[in-house]
Amino acid sequence: MARFGDALATGADLVSAAERAVQEATRGLDAPADLLCFFVCGADPDEVTLAGERAMALAGGAVTLGCSATGVVGGGRGVEEQGAVSVWAAHLPSVTATPFRLDVIPEGDHLAVVGMHEPDSTDRAALLLANPYEFPAQSFVARSTEALSGLPIVGGLADGMRGQDSVRLFCDGEVADAGAVGLILGGDGVAGTMVSQGCRPIGRPMAVTKSEGNVILELAGGPAYERLEALVNSLPPEEQDLAAGGLHIGIAMDEYADSHEQGDFLVRSVVGADPETGALTIGEMVEVGQTVRFQVRDHDSASADLIERLQAFGEETAGRASAALLFSCSGRGSSMFPTSDHDVRLVQQQLGIESVSGFFAAGEIGPVAGRNHVHALTACVLAFEAVED
């Protein structure tokens, strides 16, 4: 049967922390680890590299995957902006894990991504870790649903405490500072994926009646800015404050649904508003005829949405989840909640599992309504189950 373990070790000596975390995570497996995922947070990129290499060296024959981060999750807690290594280990006799590394090469007048394996009928999900400074994650993930025959992708954009030059990716014994790395996972031991976008809708749904690319010019037949202004003015003071602090917009994933409520949208930021032209600029391409609804996010709505999504996921999978990898936005953690432990503890509580590891990402990857997307301020989960040998 599949077995899982996880651990989080802190300290300025990242190599020592990696050793302790790997040893603790694998100690309770009572079987060889088949997969070992790890995430390293540290101020010195060279130390992060050494810690990752040490983790891979201790993995035995396990497939390994990991990255640098500005915060990590494991052992039932989250740690941000300090030296720490999180390790998740699994004995997965019913799961295949095929490593890949993606690179970008010039091809005519555009760039091509190379290195992806073709999935087969037994594959259930892909796990992807990418350097957001060196890899076109948005466009790759946006095209992946068709290119990979609908295979769900879950993961996150790596980062480092010194920004672009401190990103490190680890895969099956090798270290990279560009591109992306990942695994194609097959077999019955992959339980499924979950995405919590953490927003709640305000106002009514409206149809886009004029747009250009990612600029909405008209909503419901009127200037988009005026529609937004009227909506905000109609809100109670507390919701006006939330909208002023960061407004979002949801794009309906199913135009044929009878209603469009919380969880029915792909959520994107409103990044610009021009009262003179009446236009709104959003973080996604939008077409005439699509339904949108404005959204707000705070710690209460984010927490409630995560609980609701986890409960629904538990019902969909009939409670089969036994362990999980968690990718939470670096804007969540202690920036949004009272503690850095919020998301990991809710995942453990709502799914009734212990072994949950991951990192605070510069962008999260997960499917919404059957299509893969890069998100912001979300929590994405890839769950596994303990299938009998």
Per-residue pLDDT tens digits for 24-47: 999 989 899 999 999 999 999 999
Same domain, 287 and 315: no
Domain boundary among 248, 277, 296: 296
When pLDDT is cut at 50, 70 and 90, the band that residue 107 belongs to is: confident
Domain count, the chain: 2
Domain boundary among 237, 265, 296: 296
Greater confidence (132 vs 369) lies with: 132
pTM of the shown model: 0.94
CA distance 219 to 73: 41
Same domain, 101 and 51: yes
- Judge whether residue 338 has pLDDT over 60: yes
Three-state DSSP at 220 gives coil
Amino acid letter, residue 218: E
pLDDT at residue 386, rounded to an integer: 86
- Judge whether residue 109 has pLDDT over 90: no
When pLDDT is cut at 50, 70 and 90, the band that residue 85 belongs to is: very high
Q: What is the mean pLDDT of residues 256-262?
A: 59
Same domain, 55 and 117: yes
Domain of residue 141 covers: 3-196+302-385
When pLDDT is cut at 50, 70 and 90, the band that residue 245 belongs to is: confident
- Judge whether residue 260 has pLDDT over 70: no
Same domain, 135 and 242: no
pLDDT for 198-229, tens place per residue? 888 899 999 999 999 999 999 999 999 999 99
Same domain, 310 and 292: no
Q: How far is CA 365 from CA 249, 282, 384, in A?
A: 18, 19, 17
- Judge whether residue 257 has pLDDT over 70: no
pLDDT at residue 200, rounded to an integer: 87
Same domain, 188 and 174: yes
Same domain, 333 and 247: no
Token digits of residue 148:
């990979």
Three-state DSSP at 171 gives strand
Same domain, 204 and 169: no
Q: How far is CA 173 from CA 25, 70, 180, in A?
A: 18, 22, 15
